[in-house]
Amino acid sequence: MTAKLTPVAPKDLAALMDQARAILVDIREPDEFAQGHAKGALSFPLSAFEHAHLTIEPGKDVVFTCKSGVRTNANCGRLAERIDGEAFVLDGGLDAWCRAGLPTASGRD
C-alpha cells in the first residue's frame, strides 16, 4: 500500500494551529526555512529527516510542508511512515500559505 498525505487548506491549518490541534513540519533545508516560513512551523529538513527527533503530542495532527508542496508529495512515504495515524500536507505549501495572507516569520527559530 502506498502511503499518502491528505491535503489541508492553509486557512484550515491556521485554525487548527490556533486551537493547538495541529503542528506544521517544514521539510525545507535550514537556509530556506530561515528566509521565511509559516509562523509556528517547526524545521525538520528532509536531508536529515530519518535522524530527526520528531516528537508529536498525542491527539495532534501533523502537517508537512515545503515551498510549493511538490517536495512534500514526492516524499510522502518517508514522511507518513514517521507518523502514527493519518498525516497531512499543506495544500500548495508555503506559497499557498503566503497567498492566503497568513502570518510568516524568518530566522531559524
What residues are labeled active site?
A: 66
CA 60 centroid distance within chain? 13
- H helices present in 37-103, as ranges: 70-74, 76-80, 93-99
Strands 22-26 and 42-43: parallel
| Measured CA angle at 9 (ends 29, 18), to 5 deg | 80
Q: Which residue, 69, 30, 22, 35, is CA-closest to 49?
A: 30
Residue 9, all three cell numbers: 487548506
